[in-house]
């Protein structure tokens, strides 16, 4: 009943220049959102809304992040008309039936990029995930009263296994096969989880080029929740190409855009082509005037201290963990120290793949070995360049360069680590000098 009263007191009005929203049951709120202030409009349809032909319109003005206005349970046609009205107004266009017809032709025209079920399945194979195990673990924690005492204590299992007479009767071959079956089961769960997550998120993925109003990309995807958003090209700040050693071997890449635009989930790194060939990515980048790497582009490596300082820290940490567990839990846990070998090797490979290159118009930064990432940043989009030194950097005269991008993540900013301090100064000067020329 309260929900019905709130609904009855919620109204909106679309004028020639703004949207007016009136809401509130006891405390009335009248909000006016001028079209000039609206930065992005995104549409979302959850499963029930899709069945009812409804959609949610989220408006973002950039005043503080997130949504600044939301219209829920609009008819899908009304939601699309509102989005197109705002986009056309910001492009300086008047309402014209020809624009509506042009928008409808997108449905029948070839997409800029799309994924069928086979392509989504391939993408899922590369999105290995243990999210299903995490869900089962969370359920086990919440219903631990149904589990035996000490179920989550490793010492319980270590003490119990030698006492299992049935297991002791098995030969070494049977035990090995049992351990192998357990490992294969975990791997299978990881692949299945990745495929399911990818299908739920990327089902019916389609990227279209929008020429009416503000030029941009229109992306639609989702199995249960359908999202329909437009990324204006002028709000694209950088391009990100993600891949991995196996994925790159087969020629698959994931293209993302760092954008000022935000969707209903608040994501700023938007997927433009989750599983694509380089030949399919090139036309998308061309629309944003972003160039891929050329064969003759020379990348510069960072200092080897990037890996050996981390390797030393890993060895010290795992040594302490191994000694502590070996003394107080079980002598076999001294073997934890062996984990430092593969971890140090991965750290070395990460150093080999951490490189950067600067051209007259763009900055290229590579990072990661297993999760390989190439960030392509047009120089006019550079906001800030910070040079920092930790106490471990001073003795080696090294520094870390952090490059600020509008709309970029504050948790994982674009960084170039472990480069000589004078190189960091030269890079900062070159970035701003070439940005001014651009």
pLDDT tens string 130-182: 666 666 666 666 666 666 666 666 666 666 655 555 555 566 777 778 788 88
User: Where is mean pLDDT largest: 14-18, 89-93, 161-165?
Assistant: 14-18
Higher pLDDT pick, 42 / 172: 42
Percent of the chain past pLDDT 70, that is, above it, reads 81
Buried b (16+ CB within 10 A) or exposed e, 306-331: bbebbbeebeeebeeebeebbeeeee
The mean pLDDT of 39-61, rounded to a whole number, is 88
> Comparing 309 with 94, which gets the higher pLDDT?
309
pLDDT, residue 355, reads 97
The residue among 24, 27, 30, 31 whose CA lies nearest residue 10 is 24
- Residue pair 383/404 in contact (Cβ under 8 Å)? The answer is yes
Q: Side by side, which strands form the sheet with 398-405?
A: 382-388, 398-405, 414-420
CA atoms within 13 A on the CB side of 246: 6
8 Å CB contact between 405 and 363: no
Burial of 50 (0-12, 13-18, 19+ CB in 10 A): middle
Helix (H/G/I), strand (E/B), else coil: 252: coil
Q: What is the largest CA-CA distance in the chain?
A: 83
Residue 99 has a pLDDT of 46
Share of the chain above pLDDT 90, in %: 49
List, as one string, the DSSP characters of 405-419.
ETT--SSS-EEEEEE
Pairing state of beta strands 40-45 and 372-378? Answer: unpaired
Cα 155 vs. chain centroid, distance in angstroms? 38
Per-residue model confidence (pLDDT) at position 176: 79
What pLDDT score was predicted for residue 149? 67
Let me know: does 273 contact 290? Beta carbons within 8 Å. Answer: no
Contact status, residue 123 vs residue 202, Cβ threshold 8 Å: yes
The pLDDT tens digits of the residues spanning 299-351 come to 999 999 999 999 999 999 999 999 998 888 888 888 999 999 999 999 999 99
C-alpha angle with apex 337: 331 to 342, nearest 5 degrees? 140
Q: Which residues neighbour 434 within 8 Å (Cβ) at sequence distance 6 or greater?
A: 358, 360, 361, 379
Report helix, strand or coil for 293: coil
pLDDT at 391: 92
Cβ neighbour number for residue 78 with a 10 Å cutoff: 14
pLDDT beyond 90 at 423: yes
Question: pTM for the full model?
Answer: 0.81
> 436 vs 121, which has greater pLDDT?
121
Give the integer Cα–Cα distance in Å for 210 and 213. Answer: 8
8 A C-beta contact, residue 419 and residue 303: yes
Residues forming beta bridges with residue 301, ordered by sequence position? 355
Digit-coded pLDDT (tens) for 350-377: 999 999 999 999 999 999 999 999 999 9
Higher pLDDT among residues 275 and 42, named by residue: 275
pLDDT recorded at residue 105: 46
* Closest listed residue to residue 125, CA positions, set 185, 172, 192: 192
Closest CA to 41 of 289, 218, 285: 218
Sign of the dihedral defined by the CA atoms of residues 163, 168, 174, 176, in that order: positive
In the predicted model, what is the mean pLDDT of residues 284-297? Answer: 93
Q: Is the pLDDT of residue 100 over 50?
A: no
416 band by pLDDT with thresholds 50, 70 and 90: very high
Tell me whether residue 65 is exposed, middle or buried, using C-beta atoms within 10 angstroms of its C-beta: 0 to 12, 13 to 18, 19 or more: exposed
Q: Which of 108-122, 212-226, 334-348 has the lowest mean pLDDT?
A: 212-226
Quick one: pLDDT at residue 266?
54
Give the model's pLDDT for residue 102.
Answer: 46
Mean pLDDT (the chain) is 85
Q: What is the pLDDT of residue 157?
A: 62
């Amino acid at each position: 009943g309260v929900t019905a009263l709130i609904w009855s007191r919620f109204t909106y009005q679309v004028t020639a220049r703004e949207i007016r929203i009136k809401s509130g049951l006891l405390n009335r709120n009248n909000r006016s959102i001028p079209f000039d202030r609206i930065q992005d409009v995104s549409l979302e349809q959850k499963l029930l809304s899709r069945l009812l032909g409804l959609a949610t319109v989220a408006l973002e003005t950039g005043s503080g992040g997130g949504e600044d206005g939301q219209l829920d349970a609009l008819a899908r046609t009304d939601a699309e008309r509102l989005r197109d009205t705002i986009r056309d107004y910001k492009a300086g266009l008047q309402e014209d039936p020809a624009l509506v017809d042009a928008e409808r032709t997108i449905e029948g025209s070839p997409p800029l990029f799309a994924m069928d079920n086979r392509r989504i399945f391939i993408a899922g194979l590369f999105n290995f995930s243990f999210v299903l195990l995490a869900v089962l673990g969370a359920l086990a924690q919440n219903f631990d009263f149904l589990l035996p005492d000490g179920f989550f204590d490793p010492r319980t299992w270590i003490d119990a296994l030698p006492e299992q007479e049935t297991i002791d009767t098995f030969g070494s071959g049977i035990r090995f096969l049992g351990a192998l079956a357990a490992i294969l089961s975990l791997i299978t769960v990881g692949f299945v989880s990745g495929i399911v997550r990818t299908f739920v998120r990327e089902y019916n993925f389609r990227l279209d080029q929008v020429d009416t109003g503000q030029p941009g990309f229109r992306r639609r995807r989702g199995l249960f929740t359908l999202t329909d958003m437009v990324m204006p090209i002028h709000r694209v700040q950088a391009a990100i190409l993600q891949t991995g050693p196996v994925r790159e071997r087969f020629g698959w890449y994931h293209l993302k855009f760092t954008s000022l635009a935000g969707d209903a989930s608040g994501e700023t790194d938007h997927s433009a082509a989750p599983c694509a060939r380089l030949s399919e990515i090139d036309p998308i980048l061309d629309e944003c005037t972003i160039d891929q790497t050329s064969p003759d582009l020379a990348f510069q490596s960072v200092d080897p201290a990037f890996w050996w300082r981390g390797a030393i820290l890993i060895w010290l940490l795992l040594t302490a963990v191994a000694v502590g567990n070996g003394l107080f839990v079980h002598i076999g846990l001294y073997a934890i120290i062996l984990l430092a070998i593969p971890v140090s090797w991965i750290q070395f490979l990460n150093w080999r793949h951490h490189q950067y290159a600067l051209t007259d118009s763009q900055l290229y930064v590579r990072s990661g070995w297993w999760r390989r990432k190439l960030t392509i940043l047009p120089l006019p989009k550079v906001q800030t360049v910070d040079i920092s030194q930790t106490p471990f950097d001073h003795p080696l005269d090294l520094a870390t360069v952090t490059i600020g991008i509008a709309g970029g993540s504050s948790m994982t900013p674009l960084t170039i680590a472990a480069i000589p301090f004078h190189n960091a100064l030269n890079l900062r000067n070159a970035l701003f000098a070439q940005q001014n020329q651009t």
